[in-house]
Amino acid sequence: MKPFKLFAALAIGTLMSACASIDSVSDTATRNAMYNPVGPKMMLNAAPDALEQSISFPNLLIEKFTVAVPEHLKVSEANRYYPHGDIVWRGDPVGDRHAQVKAIFEAALMQSAGSIGPGGIPTLVEIEVLRFHALTEKARYTTGGVHSITFLLTLRDTRTGQLLATPHEVKADLDGYGGQQAIDADLRGQTQKVRITGHLANVVRKELSNPGSHKNAKLGMFQALNKL
């Protein structure tokens, strides 16, 4: 290939690569913020149409965390196969379901923090729960289903308050045991609460190593019903 044609091909390839990295930032919490280029989706400018780049993410160390379970999330105590509600939880005695869900996330974050080695960027992990739909008694001891869990994740450098990655929604669904499988799991100590807490800890660890990398499991028909 002639030098001119080679140069032109390289220029076009570079231009296409640059275009592919352009991403519009719609979240008002991230607009007008200056970021350090230390993550896979680090914002390089404050402009709404700022460029992003993908590079290896550094180690993150959970130094602090906050969990918010907004009061506007609707709680359902109906013992149906699939009650409508943002929060459906039966793994604790009847009580303040918002507080119980908050405690589950806090326990998961403590597990995550305890499993991460020393060093790395001291990080504030902020979680806002958007949905926590576990199984009712009726579903758990018959058909089973899906623990449908969604939350908003924000990571900040505790030293500066700057965002370490673009705040994003994380879907963390988990297969919900039913019938004899649920009974056997309870006998082994693998209650809904234990399984969900451990699952959320694993999801958070993955997000800390590479924000946005967690892929929601494909759990079939019951998961599809949760989207209706």
What CATH number did the domain enclosing 110 receive?
3.40.50
51 in any annotated domain: no
For the ranges 3-12, 22-31, 101-110, the maximum mean pLDDT occurs at 101-110
173 in any annotated domain: yes
34 in any annotated domain: no
Domain count, the chain: 1
pLDDT at 210: 85
151 in any annotated domain: yes
The alpha-helical segments, DSSP class H, found in 88-140 are: 97-114, 137-140
Rounded Cα distance, 224 and 201, in Å: 24
Is residue 214's pLDDT more than 60? yes
Where in the sequence is the domain holding 138, given as residue range(s)? 57-225
112 in any annotated domain: yes
CA distance between the termini of the chain: 56
Q: What is the pLDDT of residues 196-209, one digit of tens each?
A: 999 999 999 999 88
119 in any annotated domain: yes
User: Cα angle at 104 between 205 and 63, to 5 degrees?
Assistant: 45
28/190: higher pLDDT: 190
pLDDT at 125: 97
Is residue 2's pLDDT more than 80? no
Rounded Cα distance, 31 and 112, in Å: 29
150 in any annotated domain: yes
Rounded Cα distance, 203 and 215, in Å: 9
